[in-house]
Structure 1
């Protein structure tokens, strides 16, 4: 099988070439994202492998099918960038990596929270300039604080347990409650009841029609003044304009995001010699209580190993006619 990889970074090529020794697929790596303009690069391939910001819409899927592509493999857990109904119409199965190292993303969320709280990023820069003052670096004890978690799938569950280990009171909201978390001490409640109690709110849910702009003017208004918001899931969970207003008014105490709703034109690129024209992210970057990382929550050796192994395993199962246990299907 020949696979066309899109949005390829150097680490993708390294990990996939290493693990492909066990599968012996023919792989073409392309740095460009999959779009209507680049889809012809997949000509001659039987599979495409895509990432979070590739555009797998109806037009692209139609062209892929016409070129003989037989399967779409996501090397990530999220699939909001894929038109699943269109894929089904063209008989294109879509497979993903549902549970690559949930510890990687959960631990990154904790790192962002600790950094914002204790301001270690600012302290690092100060010390390098021989400024040993502690002014402006005051934080708070996490022990005893209320941490709210929206979404208790694989990543959310790991995050909850880490927060319990810190001695936090952990609240959660999810349509599917986890009995094991309840037994561990996590308290489930409706979102409206959870928001006013949270000192820290961390998002770990997928992006879909129900969660788009979950954090908006109304939900922000219900949050406790001075609370911290962390998002390591999908950028579209947050209405960025609403968050900017909440930061300007001082109602939102701090923001940590590893994802951004317009990240497609920014993240995974070196733009240090360019002028960034996205006014919203530039405004976010201007706040002293905002921490932005460029979708690096997944970026650990363990996670990249699992992504490569599961993705190639999904494609091997397809070539052998075996059940696709990691297939994603449209909601009926």
Structure 2
């Protein structure tokens, strides 16, 4: 896979939870990234969701633009050429669809988390994409159990903090990119959220910035998940778990005629969760970088403005 980030088998979650947590946590602490093999998610259902995404992105531009909704890109379709990585001048070469959490009528977060929209043009889209959201959401909670254990917290510490989290499944389409730049598929950035779960993409391009300033390509084996720490968890842990810069570069010349699809799941805290440095992650040898707490929703809105989605 790489000479640095070795996969951790999810089978060990049930058979050796302490060892699994330590391996996973060590990878996160070292790289901000980890790879989980043997995730056990139904590959046929994953393939169906990706096929539905491909069918949507193949629709005419005007058809797709009917699903642009005024929620800062948090639901429905965001066209090509909109999102721009923080502190970057050139927009990313991508278009995407966002699904969020379905809330019961009258839910206390319905003023913050808008309802989902669904494209009638792809009949299987709703069921297939909603399955993927729920599968990755459930997997994310299990990964957080291991992270909690690694941080010497109660194993269930994170469960109530993300139970109604403002999580997002992003269906991404990077069209063929027959040039070198200055625009690239995804400019160097860090994720906003708690953790991100990413199923392997068919095309290469994901790279992680190492501490020595070099870029490490990440190509997960089949049946694997790439997971990275987001800025919210970095802040909560006072950088014990780092949110690492990553990017998606344009393809090699022989692959420039091929599109790239991926499905990152951005797991978020509940909107009113107060991100306040964990007491176990600050002290005389690790001063608290964030003495002023902030709610997850305030943090999210601040960052969405920076990347031109709000």
* TM score, norm. by length of structure 2: 0.25
Q: Which has the higher contact order (CA 8 A, sep 6+)?
A: 2
Which structure dedicates a bigger proportion of its chain to helix? 1
Q: Larger Cα Rg: Structure 1 or Structure 2?
A: 1
